[in-house]
Structure 1
Amino acid sequence: MGRAARVQVQLAAAACLLPLLLQLPASLGIGFGLGALAVIAASWRRPMPALLRLMLGGCALLAVALVAPGIGRDTACAVLAAMLALKPAETSTLRDGRSLVGFGLFAPFATFLLDQGPISLLLALAAVLLALLALQRLAADEGEVAQVSARGATVGVVRLFALGLPLALAAFWLFPRLPTPLWGLPQRSIATPGLSDTMTPGGMFDLLLDDSPAARVQFFGATPAPQQMYWRGPVLWDFDGRTWRQAHDLQRYPAAPMQSAGAGWDYRIDLEPTENSQLIALDLPTQLPDGAYASRDYTPWATAAQYNVSRWRMRSAPPVSFEADLPPPLRARALALPPGYNPRTVALGRQWRREAGSAARGRADAAIAERALAMIRRDFAYTLNVPPAGRNEVDDFLFDRKEGYCEHFSSAFVVLMRASGIPARVVTGYAGAYRNPIGGYWLVRKSDAHAWAEVWLPARGWVRVDPTAAVAPERVYDTIADRQPGRIAGLDALVPVFNAGDWLRRGWNDFVLGFNAQRQQSLLKPLGLDKLGASALAALFGAIAALALAWMAWLIARGERQRDPLLRAWHALEARYRRLGRGRAPHEAAQRWAARVAADRPRAGEHLAALARRVSDARYAPIASREALRELVRDLRRHRP
């Protein structure tokens, strides 16, 4: 394999590997990228010894096992990236080059198992383009095809893309889609930050530092104030002294009675993939679409796991009363505390209950909750720099450290309320949102993750209490300017860039990733076809696919005809006569056509007849030299009717 071909092959392999590396953990992506460069440099003159390749492969697999333990998509993709990074070590012949390019093409397609964004698609298309160019170069070096310039090769590959584009679009838009795939997507071996059904001290730290989108929301009509933007997720009931857990058994029961205050808000939420059936909704959801439901505690759920971007039209409203009658089993569950944990907090709660005296239960409970908030406002501070939790984490937080973030505030508040005899629970989700001025929608980021409390008060039912907002409302409601997305090191110019980029990503999600079976069935609704069934879609796809294939065949045949410069010049001459109404009929011989033209225009006909004889001789008899052929082409181009 020549030097130029080898460079082209290695470049194609690197382009295939790049999008996959960008989706791996940073340590693996950077390590495998640098490793691939080192392997190429070390094996450029001669293939690397087999023993050394084996040792490097073992080290790569060990790195994958340490960073992505278990079996899943991340592990499989990381192994693929490692093997592709090492593959150039045994690439020297033309056959090796073909093998490297063919193996490399698996990488951009594996990338789509981890990310389906527009950047990944563009990088994959560039990789496929370079791979096809490399294969064409290898074929030319082997003598299978003629050598062409870099520009000619690029034009040829782009034409191949253009030929297949109509068929690809027809398959995307019209091929019948199933509501759910025939196979399950393998689980990820590396957990991505997101809402969980448990809450342990320190568990939210990574999530609060992740500014990637969690959801995008479009309101129709009234928009809630930032202080009302609580996006409800898992509700946590059970506490073992360290970890709060969701009550999954409550999914079997219908939503509790709730009386809403007014019409509320109508909105559409585009939720990023969660790979589980957990949804979020503006507190409290009053109307959920098909495929979604609310459990007893108004935790929103989907009927199926969400592996792709999903869209939900919902209504929500603040409650006037929320489960005003609390059943005894739920009351006992909302008061339960594990024995032997946080004794100082339990003692303080019992003391407050005794000091509340004989006041009416509702007023006493509200006064105790307000007393706790007043203590938090006076003595506590917000920070993410929190030491590891001890056995009695709530005691340490309330009496010693007095610093923490939302999970510490909410957990301590609920434990204190339960110790005071007030039913309470932890609610997790997101709080606040950022309005993108370009699209007019609201962006909820993973860093907006939040935990708050709900206490049960007589006659009112469950009431939201956010102890974190009592200390740092700016951390909850996104009201400070330096939290605007895209702002890095005080560079305000990056904010509009982020807004435009997120708006484009939203459009990509809408028109590409969000195109599901339901939207496909209503694809032709603007043309008066309300809904197309699977058979109608299949028939329509077959018809358009047949047209696309016919168009591809015609272009290929036309390209073969136009590849000869002599034929191109002759067809151009025919086109000039056709514009004057003297064109050649498809069945008409060239000499007969020239005689017909000479009947009207003798001089042009004579010249045309001479050119026709020369073209016939060139096509069906050997030409003396290339110069004679070029001269004939020039004469055809110069001839004018």
Structure 2
Amino acid sequence: MADAGSPLMLDAPTRRGVLAAAATGLLPLLLQLPPTIGMTIAAAAVVVTALSWRKPLPAPLRLLLTLALLAIVLNLTGFSVGRDSGCALLAAMLAAKPSETFNLRDARSLLGFALFAPFATFLLDQGPVALALGLLAAIAVLLALLRLADLESGDIAYRPRIRDRLVAIGRLMAIGLPLALAAFWLFPRLGTPLWGVPERALSRPGLSDTMRPGEWVDLMSDDSPALRVQFFGDTPPTQQMYWRGPVLWNFDGREWTQPGWFRALPAAPMEPGDVRWDYRIELEATDQRQLVALDLPLAAPEGARLSLDHGLHVRRPLTSLSRWRIQSAPPRRYEPELRRTLRSAALALPDGFNPRTVALARQWRREAGNDDVAIVTRAMDWIRSDFAYTLGTPLLGRHSVDEFLFDEQAGFCEHFSSSFVVLMRAAGIPARVVTGYTGGYYNRFGDYWIVRRLDAHAWAEVWLEGRGWVRADPTAAVAPERIYDTIEDRAGVGGGLFGDAGGLSPMLDMTDWLRRGWNDFVLGFDASRQRQLFRPLGLGDMDGARLAALFSLVAALALLWMAWLSRKGEREPDPVLRAWRALGQRYVRLGLEPMPHETARDWAARVGRAQPHLAAELNALSEDFSDWRYAAPTPGHDAVRDLVRRLRAHRPTGPRPARNPGERR
């Protein structure tokens, strides 16, 4: 045993188990961090562990490695403060900790901090995979802590079966489960949080209020769902599913932006057509304040507001999954009277950019006179006949629209929409860029539509006399035979992960349907649904006071359950005494268990009289046990291990003896 006051050192198997448990705790967090940061921290953890595999690294080297890793992580996060940067720093510190983890105290410290990693993961993602990996990490850490307890008690030589360990951990989890469930279902939830979760330092892939031609390639290669939509009643044709997001007005020659002050203006007048679409959107977290809706939303849902250009905005960033019930309709006329200020904004072009485009537009205007429709039709016909769709367009220069229209004549939606709007404005037709998503994939299991991030799209709106704003999608005008290169072509999946996965399609549908169920059952359990929880029992809506009272009652019962199980599951810390008591329990089936008043030798003698074939081995064990418990000096660690092994190996056999009527039990 270690000297008093000196740290107890880990043996090699125990240290490997501690490191493996810490890695299991770190894994879910690394999977949620940006790939570059996650892979950097994982590689650093492997290097640190390899360098310190046999002995601790010198303190100066440990300090140097830790500072270097932290500096790299801070540089990758842009020295910003947010949820993801904080989680990345936690992961980096966990990756550096194995360099000094060689004694019991440091091992417990590492395992304690490793449990923070799965909890930090929930700041970035609350999906079922994150939960499953978090539970796996908790089990691994508890297994390692049990191993450390055996090391501290001197019982390290004996490794119980993994099933027994898991049963012990299951008992620990069962102790706290009722209280956890009561807190989830019954603890009163606030309709709005008292404080906000810190925003991310690194943006998520998704729509934004800016667009620079060529920068959407990463977004359009992301096959993860952006939103799920369930229609109530009629469903629009897929080719009419334009999901409206940020509307971009300002152009500086390179980048399109959304005027922030337009959000404060009331929505422009719109006369809806005869068709109505009623639907519910489940929007994945974006960390933005912009919603998307089917073109055009008739009104803002509760908690959102409708801006001048019919964009939907919320007050707080959408840091978690949200649901919105919306009605939309294709417009018959949309803002038929355009105010002078808005007309000027929809015609503005920066000076000194794209002279060839401006010259062509003015030529078309002279030839068409006042016929704006003829100019729009001429532009669409030109695109249909001469242009191609591809992702391989090189980065364009200062006169990006000129280069696209007259030199490249091939690109994707950003190039088409941007160039089309510039061409229209140069011809005197008010125009703007609209970004969002288009299309959708129908999930047959859940009867809903999935819109993916790679469905991101940009199109144009032009203002025509008497009709107002009219959608014009130049990208859609490209003939199918002139589409050369798409994200699906590059990925080799022929239609996307959901669109054309062959035999995998039903499995992927089922997987997403299960994820949607998780979103509905767990992530969507908010204050409103909590109040309605007991409606099926005829109790009506539960206010905060009634919920608090019910939670207090259930929590009290859960605490009594925890106390009872904890007392029932108390564990004798001494391995020899624990093994001796377990030995006595094996004699219960023979009716020869030890009595409270019997000494070890007396009990062994009684068993020997009843079962002579057990006498020799049990007498020897009782002698050694008595010497260990009462004799001096204290036996060495090897002798204790040998005694525990023999006590555990002893198995009584034989028939149950006849009971003496006069014997006291």
The whole-number CA distance in structure 1 between the counterparts of 2:323 and 2:300 is 12
Corresponding residue number in structure 2 for 1:211: 223
The change in CA–CA distance for 1:323 and 1:61 in structure 2 (over 3 A counts) is same
TM-score, length of structure 1 as denominator length? 0.86
Listed as ranges, the matches of 1:289-438 within 5 Å are 289-357=301-369, 361=370, 364-438=371-445
State which drifts further: 419-428 or 65-74: 65-74
Corresponding residue number in structure 2 for 1:238: 250
Secondary structure of 2:111 counterpart: helix
- State the AA in 2 paired with 1:219: F
Sequence identity of aligned pairs in percent?
55
The change in CA–CA distance for 1:29 and 1:289 in structure 2 (over 3 A counts) is same
Which of 596, 599, 602 is the equivalent residue of 1:619? 596
Which of 508, 512, 515 is the equivalent residue of 2:518? 508
- State the AA in 1 paired with 2:76: V
Residue 127 of structure 2 is aligned to residue 117 of structure 1 = yes
The whole-number CA distance in structure 1 between the counterparts of 2:329 and 2:275 is 7
CA deviation profile, 1:545-587 (whole Å, cap 9, x unmatched): 11222223333344459997699899x99xxxxxxxxxxxxxx
Which of 132, 137, 143 is the equivalent residue of 2:142? 132
Listed as ranges, the matches of 1:143-162 within 5 Å are 143=153, 149=160, 150-162=162-174
- State the AA in 1 paired with 2:129: I
Residue 466 of structure 2 is aligned to residue 466 of structure 1 = no
Gaps of 5+ in 1: 574-609
Which of 508, 527, 543 is the equivalent residue of 1:517? 527
- State the AA in 1 paired with 2:131: L
Contact 2:390-2:486 within 8 A present in 1 as well:
no
The whole-number CA distance in structure 1 between the counterparts of 2:487 and 2:27 is 38
Contact 2:391-2:486 within 8 A present in 1 as well:
no
Secondary structure of 1:530 counterpart: coil
1:629, CA displacement in angstroms?
7.2
Residue 236 of structure 2 is aligned to residue 259 of structure 1 = no
Listed as ranges, the matches of 1:140-219 within 5 Å are 140-143=150-153, 149=160, 150-219=162-231
1:322, CA displacement in angstroms?
0.7
Contact 1:239-1:337 within 8 A present in 2 as well:
yes
Corresponding residue number in structure 1 for 2:67: 58
State which drifts further: 216-225 or 298-307: 298-307
Residue 48 of structure 2 is aligned to residue 36 of structure 1 = no
Contact 1:308-1:514 within 8 A present in 2 as well:
no
The whole-number CA distance in structure 1 between the counterparts of 2:216 and 2:134 is 34
The change in CA–CA distance for 1:256 and 1:157 in structure 2 (over 3 A counts) is same
Which of 442, 448, 456 is the equivalent residue of 2:449? 442
- State the AA in 1 paired with 2:32: Q
State which drifts further: 622-631 or 12-21: 622-631
The change in CA–CA distance for 1:396 and 1:637 in structure 2 (over 3 A counts) is farther
The change in CA–CA distance for 1:59 and 1:258 in structure 2 (over 3 A counts) is same
The whole-number CA distance in structure 1 between the counterparts of 2:321 and 2:174 is 28
Contact 1:432-1:476 within 8 A present in 2 as well:
no
The number of residues matched between the two structures is 593
Secondary structure of 1:82 counterpart: helix
- State the AA in 2 paired with 1:291: G
Contact 1:429-1:451 within 8 A present in 2 as well:
yes
The change in CA–CA distance for 1:526 and 1:275 in structure 2 (over 3 A counts) is same
Corresponding residue number in structure 1 for 2:633: none
The whole-number CA distance in structure 1 between the counterparts of 2:605 and 2:399 is 95
Corresponding residue number in structure 1 for 2:54: 45
The whole-number CA distance in structure 2 between the counterparts of 1:227 and 1:622 is 87
The whole-number CA distance in structure 2 between the counterparts of 1:620 and 1:123 is 50
Corresponding residue number in structure 2 for 1:593: none
Corresponding residue number in structure 2 for 1:69: 78
Secondary structure of 2:433 counterpart: strand
Contact 2:299-2:306 within 8 A present in 1 as well:
no
- State the AA in 2 paired with 1:252: A
Which of 9, 12, 15 is the equivalent residue of 2:24? 15
1:623, CA displacement in angstroms?
3.8
The whole-number CA distance in structure 2 between the counterparts of 1:355 and 1:521 is 66
Secondary structure of 1:141 counterpart: helix
1:129, CA displacement in angstroms?
0.9
Contact 1:434-1:484 within 8 A present in 2 as well:
no
Contact 2:272-2:332 within 8 A present in 1 as well:
yes
Contact 1:232-1:281 within 8 A present in 2 as well:
yes
1:151, CA displacement in angstroms?
2.7
The whole-number CA distance in structure 2 between the counterparts of 1:326 and 1:559 is 76
The whole-number CA distance in structure 1 between the counterparts of 2:198 and 2:657 is 65
The whole-number CA distance in structure 2 between the counterparts of 1:100 and 1:158 is 22
Secondary structure of 1:485 counterpart: helix
- State the AA in 2 paired with 1:80: L
The change in CA–CA distance for 1:56 and 1:261 in structure 2 (over 3 A counts) is same
The whole-number CA distance in structure 1 between the counterparts of 2:311 and 2:142 is 50
Secondary structure of 1:442 counterpart: strand
Residue 93 of structure 2 is aligned to residue 83 of structure 1 = yes
Gaps of 5+ in 2: 1-9, 573-577, 612-651, 660-665
1:428, CA displacement in angstroms?
0.5
Output the aligned Cα RMSD.
3.0
The change in CA–CA distance for 1:419 and 1:548 in structure 2 (over 3 A counts) is same
The whole-number CA distance in structure 2 between the counterparts of 1:24 and 1:627 is 66
The whole-number CA distance in structure 2 between the counterparts of 1:321 and 1:437 is 35
The whole-number CA distance in structure 2 between the counterparts of 1:255 and 1:639 is 94
- State the AA in 2 paired with 1:427: V
- State the AA in 2 paired with 1:524: F
Secondary structure of 2:62 counterpart: helix
The change in CA–CA distance for 1:273 and 1:522 in structure 2 (over 3 A counts) is same
Secondary structure of 2:494 counterpart: helix
Contact 2:249-2:432 within 8 A present in 1 as well:
yes
The whole-number CA distance in structure 2 between the counterparts of 1:283 and 1:639 is 88
TM-score, length of structure 2 as denominator length? 0.83
The whole-number CA distance in structure 1 between the counterparts of 2:523 and 2:236 is 28
The whole-number CA distance in structure 1 between the counterparts of 2:270 and 2:488 is 29
The change in CA–CA distance for 1:534 and 1:637 in structure 2 (over 3 A counts) is farther
The whole-number CA distance in structure 1 between the counterparts of 2:570 and 2:203 is 53
- State the AA in 1 paired with 2:548: A
The change in CA–CA distance for 1:44 and 1:315 in structure 2 (over 3 A counts) is same
Residue 469 of structure 2 is aligned to residue 457 of structure 1 = no
Contact 2:203-2:287 within 8 A present in 1 as well:
no
1:628, CA displacement in angstroms?
6.2
1:126, CA displacement in angstroms?
0.9
Contact 2:44-2:69 within 8 A present in 1 as well:
no
1:62, CA displacement in angstroms?
3.0
- State the AA in 2 paired with 1:452: W
The change in CA–CA distance for 1:639 and 1:98 in structure 2 (over 3 A counts) is farther
The whole-number CA distance in structure 2 between the counterparts of 1:382 and 1:637 is 87
Corresponding residue number in structure 2 for 1:606: none
The change in CA–CA distance for 1:433 and 1:8 in structure 2 (over 3 A counts) is same
The change in CA–CA distance for 1:108 and 1:638 in structure 2 (over 3 A counts) is farther
Secondary structure of 1:285 counterpart: coil
